[in-house]
């Protein structure tokens, strides 16, 4: 991963130099607006005019699809926010994650906020490429649909932050007076056009991701979630690490340090548990212990070979283990902490199936957050469950993650922009919806303000809960 970091830093430096030179040479055409430099172009207006006028019938049809997608995204983001607030207020998720509930989408944010187990690395080059694609598609789609309905486009171009030109975005400036005077259908078409474009781009990059992943990543193992576990009555425990015990407190006093497993025995069989796990379950009548041969040998959670045979699917693993008998010794190759490990392991007997060999690993549906579940309902996973994939070269990881980030950021921007919040596209979209239903401008304005305050309250509750979880 160090090499990726070096590549990223090199590309960042080159981009900043290029952007700085470009802005200096075009300084006469730049307009200062707050902390931004606006570079306006005429070719953007010409392209928008051409598409907006030539494909009017197609754009009229797409308007219905665009507005429908707008409503789906608005319902989706409201559900996601409500569900997130509910989880933050009723569970300990804030303490578990530690990261702020609203993490800014900046380079290296997974490392900065401890979210590396949820997201792949997010390099500067990913940010630059993704923002260029996302912002250009979003803004130009606004412009194209605006021209379709006769709304004038004043200017187009790119906006750069004064002090860090690596952070930039596209813009399309429309005539707001003409926009507000247009029919509700036209306004809603223009407002939803940006997120519609982001969804289309996301779909395109999803299929690109699928094709690239299929061509460059090879199934190379099976990844299990946890070792098999059982509920054990505390009163049945007779010894720990070969030493007799008569009480749970005595058992705790005889545990090994936290980096080693403890062998905990009853009259029927042996189990395994960590010092931390045993202390966490103090006072319980039944405790959870592992009875897994895999844990006894502390196998890595990615199994690649058994007795020289490559394991590339869950079916292969089940068939291979099923070909042995309890007590048979196997040679198993696993990946543990990014290193390959080869162990000799004696298989156990399945606790529920007499005479059946047992490795003691379990596979559950991959843990997903609310957002991941939401996306997966639209875009099925391009990976087979529990399969470990190995890239043909390290560069393929870099490219695959870039495509993935462009896909995800398009989805995120589409969802976020349809929040019924005053400063976003979803704000006026919501206002026009209420106006169309009630016919009352006064009621629409009040509903718009109430929804804006409600969304801000949800954000406030998320942040407050997170802040309290830090103490």
Together in a domain, 227 and 295: yes
Together in a domain, 272 and 383: no
* Domain end among 313, 330, 362: 362
Average per-residue pLDDT for the chain? 85
Provide DSSP, 166-217. TSEEEEEEE-HHHHHHS-HHHHHHHHHHHHHHHHHHHHHHHHHHHHHHHHHE
Together in a domain, 212 and 230: no
Together in a domain, 351 and 456: no
Together in a domain, 297 and 427: no
Residue 1 pLDDT exceeds 60: no
Is residue 461 a contact partner of residue 88, using CB atoms and an 8 Å limit? yes
Confidence at residue 367, expressed as pLDDT on a 0 to 100 scale = 45
339 falls within a domain = yes
Confidence at residue 3, expressed as pLDDT on a 0 to 100 scale = 66
Residue 409 pLDDT exceeds 50: yes
Domain with 285 in it = 222-362
* Greater pLDDT, 400 or 108: 400
Confidence at residue 369, expressed as pLDDT on a 0 to 100 scale = 52
7 falls within a domain = yes
Q: Count how many domains the chain has.
A: 2
178 falls within a domain = yes
Together in a domain, 239 and 200: no
Together in a domain, 71 and 200: yes
Residue 197 pLDDT exceeds 50: yes
367 falls within a domain = no
Phi, psi torsion values for 191, nearest 5 degrees: -65, -40
Residue 368 pLDDT exceeds 80: no
Q: How many CB atoms lie within 10 A of CB 278?
A: 18
Angle between helices 56-90 and 124-148 (to 10 degrees): 130
Alpha helices in 255-384 (DSSP H): 275-280, 293-296, 314-322, 370-378
Is residue 48 a contact partner of residue 140, using CB atoms and an 8 Å limit? yes
Nearest to 2 by CA among 367, 394, 362: 394
* Domain end among 344, 362, 380: 362
Together in a domain, 289 and 404: no
Confidence at residue 109, expressed as pLDDT on a 0 to 100 scale = 78
Residue 32 pLDDT exceeds 80: no
Is residue 107 a contact partner of residue 164, using CB atoms and an 8 Å limit? no
Together in a domain, 203 and 352: no
* Per-residue pLDDT band at 373 (split at 50, 70, 90): low
Residue 366 pLDDT exceeds 60: no
**Average pLDDT of 313-336?**
90
* Per-residue pLDDT band at 440 (split at 50, 70, 90): very high
103 contact partners, CB below 8 Å, separation of at least 6: 109, 113, 115
pTM above 0.75, yes or no: yes
């Amino acid at each position: 991963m160090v090499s990726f970091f070096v590549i990223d830093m090199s590309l960042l430096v080159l981009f900043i130099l290029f952007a700085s030179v470009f802005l200096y040479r075009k300084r006469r055409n730049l307009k200062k607006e707050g902390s931004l430099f606006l570079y306006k172009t005429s070719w953007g207006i010409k392209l928008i005019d051409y598409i907006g006028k030539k494909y009017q019938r197609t754009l009229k049809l797409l308007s219905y699809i665009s507005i429908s997608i707008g409503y789906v995204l608005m319902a989706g983001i409201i559900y996601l926010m409500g569900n997130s607030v509910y989880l933050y207020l009723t569970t300990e998720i804030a303490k578990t994650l530690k990261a702020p509930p609203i993490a800014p989408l900046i380079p290296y944010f997974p490392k900065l906020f401890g979210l590396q187990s949820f997201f792949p690395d997010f390099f500067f080059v990913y940010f630059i490429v993704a923002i260029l694609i996302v912002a250009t598609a979003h803004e130009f789609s606004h412009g194209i649909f605006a021209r379709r309905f006769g709304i004038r486009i004043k200017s187009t171009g790119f906006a750069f932050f004064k002090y860090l030109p690596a952070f930039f975005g596209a813009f399309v400036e429309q005539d707001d007076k003409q926009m507000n005077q247009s029919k509700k259908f036209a306004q809603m078409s223009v407002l939803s056009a940006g997120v519609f474009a982001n969804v289309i781009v996301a779909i395109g990059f999803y299929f690109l991701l699928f094709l690239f992943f299929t061509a460059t990543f090879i199934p190379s193992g099976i990844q299990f979630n946890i070792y098999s576990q059982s509920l054990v009555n505390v009163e049945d425990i007779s010894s720990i690490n070969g030493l007799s015990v008569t009480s749970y407190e005595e058992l705790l006093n005889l545990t090994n340090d936290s980096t080693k497993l403890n062998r905990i025995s009853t009259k029927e069989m042996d189990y395994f548990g960590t010092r931390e796990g045993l202390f966490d379950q103090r006072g319980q009548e039944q405790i959870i212990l592992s009875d897994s041969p895999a844990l006894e040998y502390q196998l890595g959670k990615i199994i690649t070979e058994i007795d020289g045979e490559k394991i590339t699917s869950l079916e292969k693993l089940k068939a291979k283990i099923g070909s042995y008998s309890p007590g048979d010794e196997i040679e198993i190759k696993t990946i543990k902490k990014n290193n390959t490990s080869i162990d000799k392991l004696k298989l156990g007997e399945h606790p529920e199936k007499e005479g059946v060999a047992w490795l003691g690993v379990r596979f559950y549906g991959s843990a997903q957050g609310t957002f991941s579940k939401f996306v997966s309902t639209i875009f099925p996973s391009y990976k087979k469950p529990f399969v470990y994939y190995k890239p043909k070269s390290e560069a393929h990881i870099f490219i695959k993650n870039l495509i993935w980030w462009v896909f995800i950021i398009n989805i995120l921007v589409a969802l976020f922009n349809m929040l019924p919040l005053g400063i976003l596209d979803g704000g006026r979209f919501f206002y026009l919806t209420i106006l169309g239903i009630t016919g009352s401008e006064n009621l629409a304005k009040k509903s718009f303000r109430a929804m804006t305050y409600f969304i801000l309250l949800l954000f406030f509750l998320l942040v407050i809960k997170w802040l309290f979880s830090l103490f």
